[in-house]
Every structure is written in C-alpha cells, then in structure tokens.
Amino acid sequence: MRRTRAISGMIVSVIVSAIVLLSRVQGIVVSTRANDQRAAADLSWWKKAVFYQIYPRSFQDSDGDGVGDLRGIISRLDYLKDLGIDCVWLSPICRSPMKDFGYDCSDGEDIDPIFGNLDDFKDLLDEVHNRSLKLIVDFVPGYTSDQHTWFRKSIKRIGKYTDYYVWDDGKLLPNGTRVPINNWLSLFGGSAWEWNDERQQYYYHVFIKEAPEMNHRNENVEWELKSLLRFWLDLGVDGFRADAVPNMVTVANLSWDEPLSGKDVPLYQDDYVIHVYTQHQPELVPIIKGWYDLLDEYTQQDGRERYMVLETYATHEQRNVLYSQGEANPFNFDLLQMSRPPKPQEINRTIMADYNDILPGKWPNFVLGNHDNTRVSKRNGAPYVDVYNMLLLTLWGTPTTYYGEEIGMLQAEVSWNETRDPWGLNYGPDRYQYVSRDPERSPMQWTDGPQAGFTTGNSTWLPLGVNYTVHNVKIQSEGPGQTSLKLYKQLVAIRRNKAFQEGTFKPLLVTDDVYAYVREFGDQRFLVVLNFGKAATVDLSPNDGQAGTAKAVTPSVVGIAQGDTVQLTSLKLGPGDGLILQLTKDQEIIG
C-alpha cells in the first residue's frame, strides 16, 4: 500500500511504508552465495573486478594525428589505476584496412600502425601489469578483412583455404540473372551476399561486405582461431572479449529463406527478417567450449586464471545455452535494451529476471554502455548518469564501464559529412542517425583546453562531445565538491566490500520514481536508494528515527555529504539523486 501527500510546487512526494510496500515489490532475497559460491577472497579475479572498456581510437593520441593509440593509453594508465578499476578491455587494435575500424582484421597477429606496433603493445601490457591491473583484448572469431591472406587464397581456391569462408553459387532466375541463394540480410543493411568476380561465387558477410564470414564447419578454421588465441596468450594477455559470437554459424542448408518479421522497416534493413537461420545455431556450443578449454590449459600451466566474455545479444535461454558450457561467460545487455528511459519497475524486473533465470552456480554481469550503443546520457537522460553508475557498481555481478561514462560524457553531434561509421554510411544521409555509432565514440574528454586534451594536433578523428568544456577529467578531479568522477571512484572503492561482491540482493522499494535495495554479507549491510524519476520523499524505515551513514551520494544530492547520518524517514530525493547508506546490525530492514 502506498501513502501519498501533496506538497507545494512541482515536487511530487511519495511517503512509503517499507513494511507494507514489500508486499507489492518482488521481495525476493537473491542469495549470491547460493550454489556453493566461495567466499569473496576465493572468488575468481574477474568476479570481483570492475572492467573498463577503451575504444583505442578515442582514448588518447600520442603523436598528434588525431587518432588514439597505444602510447596514448600508456600515458593514461595512472588515471585508470587511480580510478580504481581492475581490468582494461581494448577494442580491436589488429592490422586492418579500417573499413570497420579494426573489426575487419587483415592480420590478427599484428598491430595496426595507426595504433603503434607489437613492441608498443608489449610495453602497454607490462605497464598494465606493473600497476597490478589486467588487460583483455578483442578476439574477432567470425570474420576477417577481405584483404586477409586467408581470403585472398580462398578466392583462388588454394588448398585448405578453399573453404575457409562461406561461398555459394547463388541461383539462376528464369531470365538468366544470377542472384543470392536466399534472402539473408547483413546487420549493416542490404543482402548478406556479395559476388566475387574472380571466384565466380557469392560470399557471405554479416556486417560490411569487406568482412567475409569464415566457415566454422571447417576444422582448419577452428585450428587457426585457437592458434590466434595462443599468440595473444603467449604475449601475456589476461583474456579476451569475443566479438559477435551469435552470428558465427548459420544453418547448413543455405537455401532456406529467413521468415519476414512483419516490421514496418525498409526491405534492406536487417530486422526486415527474423534471423532464425543465421544466429544462435547449436554448432556454436562446441566451438566456444574449445576456446575455454584452451584458456584452462594456460591456467593450469601457471596458475593465472584467464577470462573470456562473449558478445551475445541474446535471450536468457540463449545465454544459458552458452553458460552451460564450462566457464563460458556471455555478456548480459538487458539493461541496454530497456525502455528509454525505463521506470524503476522495469529496472527491477530486468535485474530480478537476470538473477532468477541464470543457471545455478553461474555468475552474472551487467553493462550500461559500449562502442555500439548510445551513451547513458542520451538513452536515459544526462541528469541520471550518476545514478545509473551507482546502480551498475552496486549490483551483484561483474560490471563493465565504457570509457567516459565516469565523467558523464554526452554524445558528439556528428553531421552526415563527418560520419565515419560504415553502418551509418550504408543507411544514407536521411537515416544514418538511426544507426551510426560515431556519436558514442567521440574522443575522451581530459581537459577544457584545445581538443579536450585528447591530442596535440589540430583535429580529432571524430567531433568532440558537446560538453567537454564542463565535463572533463581535469575539472572533475580538481574542482570543489562532489563530481561524477569523484563519485565513480567512491563507488569502485565501496564495491570492495563483500556485501557488494557476493552479498545477498534484496529489493526494498519500487515506485514510479525510486528504486531501493539492500546488499548484505555478514555484518555488512548497505541500503542503495536511487531516484530515476521526479522529486520524491520516501520512508525506508520500519520505525521513526532509524538512520544510516552516507557512504556515497550523487553530486545532485543537496544537504547530505559522505559520512553524514541520514534519517530513513521522509528521505527527500531530487531527480537523479542516489545514496549508499551503511546500516548497523541493529538498524533492521524488515522484509
């Protein structure tokens, strides 16, 4: 039951009795120590870690060409160490024609000159490890560049390379015209089949036409991919993020057309069809198991546990198929796919479904942004970036932060003439803004000076974000009062508590505006209160006078600072306000 009262002005106040409201909330205690989970001290390093994704082109430029590079990343490692994160994830740095900015690898065992060379990478890895951090790199198993030596040999039908890729003759129409064998569509738009004059066949591509898909039914391809993993493991990386895993294998019968979706979209747009024959095929399972077996082999050799996370936009059921294979860890993008913006009820449903549907003994993870999705400020509103960071870093499960979210970066405004993303270019000047990923890839905002401190050159490869003069590392580090960056550091530090690493998760309050939950491990008890909507007043105490100690507050909170005692009755929250309160054992939360 909810009690409300009107107050003056535009503020909407909600006074809630926690005792009564729990009957309206999914009042489930999720025991993160169930299924024989070990004590926090014994958890795998990646279960306790905070991951930080760097898009190398956009993090720091060291040579003035306007494009980020490895030496630039090295120069910013002390920032990452001070931030408190545990592991750096690098998007692709392999040698590439850069038709899709590195995902189209022409040599997976070399560094593209725009980023540096292998010696630069070795220095980066040493410097990362010298700071007691870890480093994982992108592994692109589904496709290569059309400039890769494997593809050039496959075109010429040279030996084992003949069937390294998915080739097909297509079909002849009655008028003698040759067309693709099926209606499969590229995720970037248009047919997924491209004709090659030299070989006189079509090849299959999921993304750009310059990135042909490999044939994973060929055991030689699987051997090549494991050899590629060994190359980077031998260099000393701590693991991988595997790209576009669901798309790696199609059905064997290429003549099957995919069913139409019925959506009101252009004929060339990928969701004009339902990808039942080109995604999440059962043959993925043994392939992925082979990768994890290889990582285990290295772990057994030296005791250093390696990690791999799989890029999988998938349902719970599809993720669980992958979870069932040993230590497989599919990314969970459910928080990215909510309404824009979502209400607390949807946030709670999403989180609880993830917790309740995951296979016993498996470990969850969460992300709020990456190089393929709009920034939090765009998706959910700039005033709420901090409260979403507080959510991400206080959930049970491994969090991954996209660079710049710790300072609340806004997206860049990228015109058609400035567009670089092939996905956007494929959709043309009238529709590029619907799909282009350029806005969320703008250069990191270090200072309010020229080029935001990203480069000493006169230009940047993409426009800067519109808020770089206000939201940047220098101002947020050196300025007075609470800032997004200072909050982020506090959140990472607080996450070291066992209550957040492996403690129970109990939703306490869900309204149209406010979401609150308790994390507990032994004597550690924390109450997290997040306002995703309008101003509100809530009652989170079972009796008058109960209080908690503020361990972290978002910059928007007025009148409460870290260390203050906060009364849980009539707690006033403005839009985007968030608090983490530590409760003593005698400060019981009923539920």
Does residue 543 contact residue 588 with C-beta atoms inside 8 Å? Answer: no
Task: Write down the residue that tokens 């084992």 correspond to.
Answer: 160
Catalytic residue among 138, 224, 311, 327: 311
Strand 571-573 and strand 536-538: the pairing is: antiparallel
List the structure tokens of 356.
């309740």
Q: What is the rounded distance in angstroms from the CA atom of residue 7 to the CA atom of residue 348?
A: 28
Give the integer Cα–Cα distance in Å for 96 and 379: 31
Catalytic residue among 120, 146, 243, 577: 243
Does residue 243 carry a catalytic annotation? yes
Residue pair 445/468 in contact by the 8 Å Cβ criterion: yes
Query: Phi then psi for 153, rounded to 5 degrees?
Result: -75, -35
Q: Is 311 a catalytic residue?
A: yes
Neighbours of 117 (CB within 10 A): 14
> What string of DSSP letters covers 275-323?
-TTTSS-TTHHHHHHHHHHHHHHHHHHHS---EEEE-----HHHHHHHH
Determine contact, residues 70/57, Cβ cutoff 8 Å. Answer: no
C-alpha span between 281 and 301 (Å, rounded):
32
- Cis bond upstream, residue 341 (ω within 30): yes
Residues ≥6 apart with Cβ < 8 Å to 221 = 164, 214, 215
Residue 169 C-alpha from the chain's centroid: 38
Q: Under a CB-based contact definition with an 8 Å cutoff, are residues 550 and 28 in contact?
A: no
Residue 70, amino acid = L
Residues tagged active-site = 243, 311
